[in-house]
Amino acid sequence: MKEKAGIPKTPKEELYRRIGALQSGMASDEIDGALIVHNTNLFYFTGTVQQSYLFIPRDGDPLFCVKKNRDRALVESALDQIIPVSGTGDLRKILADHGYVRIDRLGMELDVLPVNNYFRYLDAIKPEKMVDIWPCVQKIRSVKSEYELSLMREVAVLSDFMVKTGRRNLREGITEIELAAKVEAAARAKGHQGFVRMRSFNQEIYWGHLISGPDAAYPAFIDSPTGGRGLSHAFPQGAGRRSVGRHEPVIFDLLACMYGYYVDQTRTLAIGPLPEKLEKAHNVAVEIESELENMIQPGIAVEALYAKARHIAGMRGLDEHFMGHGKTRVGFCGHGIGLELDEFPAIMRGEKAILQPGMVLVLEPKFHFPGAGVVGVEDTFVVTDRGSQKLTHATYEVDVTTQQGLRKKKN
């Protein structure tokens, strides 16, 4: 089996750097070993997604135990020890054969591990205690390497292309789902993987939200200032069958994703100018994002970004509309992003995390007007030694008829 051309393979030194960082964290927390079973973390530490178990000891080489498909794992992963396994019942013997007879404290991803699986692993490996390894892993994953950033920069180009495609195809009478389908088809042809991973339990999303007018302010179960009616009660969010009219906001908030990594960008679009109150709110959203961008630098507490955003919204008389309205308001205005949409840290009140170079943040100031719609912007930024680097670069211009008219003149 050979690696497909054009598909990046996570370098060996990158994988072992990540594993070494986790081992350092385990030493600090007095954890003897970690058993990684969640697909996102398996990809992060092995470079592939298979039916498998990755055991990382506090000291020593990791054991990548693969049930299905080991032949593919041998091609896609650069780890040294890739061991065949028939199931959970083999794990204790494999660990013992490699010198790990006694494990007092075993780390697992307890934030997402189903209870039945928890007891299965407890019975199979018989550690003295099972502890949550996720807090350590999420901090490691929050700081991206240059290898990861190189991939995310490529994804950002796709994100800009998606917004541009939306602008070109927005017209009066088109339904939300028709517009979303045009963007999705174009993005898939460019290499969008199509699947969005979220960490939080029961938080689900399909690509994001492309929603218009009052429906954008229609609340949904997901932790988001936007909602949408969706196509059914089974998945009540996102693009629906509503036809887009003139002079109403269209929230374009679709995720770009390639190679497992996500980039988030939102633009407010409209066919013709927006009503004055919505135009004002959109301008304030751009102002907030600009102010927060200028604040981003190593050593800044994340909660300071949220406090600044709320302060500006209040100064402009828009606090009651910021990030929702009434009971639908969400308590953040951004988040980390990478292999999952909802990564550490969340930009919210009380978040004491300190910004570090390599963190990738999404800033998303939005304003919610029941009965009228939602306006706002969103961009993805890298924390650098000197401040920040913006990855997404689509224009903030709202009225698509301006650019559409220019294209017609050129043609």
Quick: pLDDT tens for 216-259.
999 899 988 899 999 999 999 999 999 999 999 999 999 999 99
In this predicted structure, the answer to whether residue 408 has a pLDDT above a threshold of 80 is: no
Please report which confidence band the pLDDT of residue 378 belongs to, taking 50, 70 and 90 as the band edges: very high
This prediction's pTM: 0.94
In this predicted structure, the answer to whether residue 202 has a pLDDT above a threshold of 60 is: yes
Query: For the domain with range 143-410, which CATH number is right: 3.40.50.150, 2.40.128.20, 3.40.80.10, 3.90.230.10?
Result: 3.90.230.10
Query: For the domain with range 12-141, which CATH number is right: 3.40.50.1100, 3.40.350.10, 3.40.1550.10, 2.60.40.10?
Result: 3.40.350.10
Q: How far is CA 219 from CA 336, 362, 367, 389, in A?
A: 23, 21, 13, 32
| Contact (CB, 8 A) for 38 and 112 | yes
Q: How far apart are the first and last CA of the chain?
A: 48
Full strand arrangement of the beta sheet holding 51-57: 82-84, 63-68, 51-57, 33-36, 105-108, 129-132
Q: Check the CA dihedral 256-262-267-268 and report its sign.
A: positive
Question: What's the average model confidence in pLDDT over 1-14?
Answer: 80
Question: What's the average model confidence in pLDDT over 391-395?
Answer: 98
- The better pLDDT of the pair 224, 65 is held by 65
Residue 6 confidence (pLDDT): 76
Query: How is residue 110 written in tokens?
Result: 């307890």
CA pair distance 307, 347, nearest whole angstrom: 9
Q: Which sequence spans correspond to the domains of the chain?
A: 12-141, 143-410
